[in-house]
Amino acid sequence: MTGKQRALAAMWGQPHDRVPVVPIVGQAAAAWCGVPIREHSHDPELLARCQVDVARRFGYDGVYIAADTWVNAEACGFPHVEHPLDQPAGGHGTWIESPGQIDTLPLPDPQRSGRWPLMVEAVRYAVRLAADELLVIGNFDQSPFDLACQLRGINQFMLDLLDDPPFAHRLLGWCAEAVARYAIALGEAGAHVLNTGDSAASGSLIGPGYYEEFAWPYEKRVFDAVHRELDVPITLHICGDASTCLRLMAETGAAGLELDYQVDLRAARAVCGERVTIIGNVDPVDPLLRGTPDEVRAKCRECLAVFVDSDRFILASGCALSPLTPPANLAAMVEAVSGWP
What values do phi and psi take at 31, rounded to 5?
-60, -45
- The CATH number linked to 318 is 3.20.20.210
pLDDT band with cut points at 50, 70 and 90 for residue 12: very high
Q: Which residues pair with 65 in a beta bridge?
A: 138
The pLDDT score that the predictor gives to residue 42 is 98
Task: State the pairing for strand pair 81-82/90-91.
Answer: antiparallel
Q: Is residue 115 part of a domain?
A: yes
Rounded Cα gap, residues 287 and 127, in angstroms: 31
By the 8 A CB rule, do 337 and 304 touch? yes
The one-letter amino acid code at 247 reads: R
The pTM score is 0.97
The answer to whether residue 27 scores a pLDDT higher than 90 is yes
Cα–Cα distance for residue pair 86/47, rounded to 1 Å:
14
Nearest partner of 25 among 333, 292, 295, judged by Cα = 333
The whole domain housing 223 covers 3-335
* pLDDT tens string 60-96: 999 999 999 999 999 999 999 999 999 999 999 999 9
Q: pLDDT (tens digit, 9 = 90+) per residue, 116-160?
A: 999 999 999 999 999 999 999 999 999 999 999 999 999 999 999
* Contact (CB, 8 A) for 198 and 143: yes
340 in a structural domain: no
Contact indicator for 235, 222 with CB cutoff of 8 Å? no
The pLDDT of residue 278 is 98
Does residue 293 fall inside a structural domain? yes
Distance, in Å, from the CA atom of 13 to the CA atom of 155, rounded to the nearest integer, reads 40
Q: What is the mean pLDDT of the chain?
A: 97
Give the closest residue to 178 by CA, choosing from 205, 218, 208, 138: 218
Number of H helices, E strands in the chain: 16, 9
Spatial distance between the Cα atoms of 20 and 137, rounded to a whole number of angstroms: 14
Task: Tell me how many domains the chain contains.
Answer: 1
User: Is 25 within a domain?
Assistant: yes
Strands (E), 97-186: 135-139
- Distance separating alpha carbons of residues 278 and 311, to the nearest angstrom: 10
Report pLDDT for 242.
96
Tens of pLDDT, residues 284-332: 999 999 999 999 999 999 999 999 999 999 999 999 999 999 999 999 9
Reported as a single tens digit per residue, the pLDDT across 206-218 is 999 999 999 999 9
Q: Is residue 104 part of a domain?
A: yes
- 341 — pLDDT class (breaks 50, 70, 90): confident
Q: Is 341 contained in some domain?
A: no
Cβ atoms of residues 122 and 63 within 8 Å = no
Q: What is the mean pLDDT of residues 95-120?
A: 96
Non-local CB neighbours of 37 within 8 Å, separated by 6+ positions: 27, 30, 31, 84, 85, 86, 87, 88, 323
Rounded mean pLDDT, 222-233: 98
Name every residue whose Cβ is closer than 8 Å to that of residue 75 and which is 6 or more positions away in sequence: 108, 113, 114, 115, 116, 178, 182
Reference 67, options 46, 94, 92; nearest CA is: 46
Question: Alpha carbon of 339 to those of 101, 167, 277: distances in Å?
Answer: 57, 54, 21
What does the pLDDT look like over 170-206, one tens digit per residue? Answer: 999 999 999 999 999 999 999 999 999 999 999 999 9
Q: Are strands 313-317 and 62-65 parallel, antiparallel or unpaired?
A: unpaired
Give DSSP secondary structure letters for 178-190.
HHHHHHHHHHHTT
102: pLDDT strictly greater than 90: yes
Which residue type is seen at 19?
A: V
